[in-house]
Amino acid sequence: MNTELNLAAPDDFYDELIGLHRDLTETQSALVNAKLILLLANHVGDADVLRAAMAAAREDLPQ
């Protein structure tokens, strides 16, 4: 899994990601996030990368 910067314009991406959720209810936001994960996961395809990403996502959770 590549965790070095791979985005040409990171601030623009972040802005668009937050914008994606504008005016959505909490439930709608959760659904959009889930759809986004599924779309990206299928695009990535590589099971090892997906597993590594899932493991990284679970790290350092606030108690």
Q: Which of 39, 40, 49, 55 binds other proteins (CB under 8 A)?
A: 39
57 binds other proteins (CB under 8 A): no
Q: Which of 1, 17, 24, 38 binds other proteins (CB under 8 A)?
A: 38
- What number of CA atoms fall less than 13 Å from residue 24's CA on the CB side? 14
SS in 3 state form for 7-62?
Answer: CCCHHHHHHHHHHHCCCCCHHHHHHHHHHHHHHHHHHHCCHHHHHHHHHHHHCCCC
- In the complex, the smallest distance separating the C-beta of residue 38 from other proteins, rounded to whole angstroms, is 6
Stretch that binds other proteins, among 4-12, 17-25, 32-40, 55-63 (CB under 8 A): 32-40
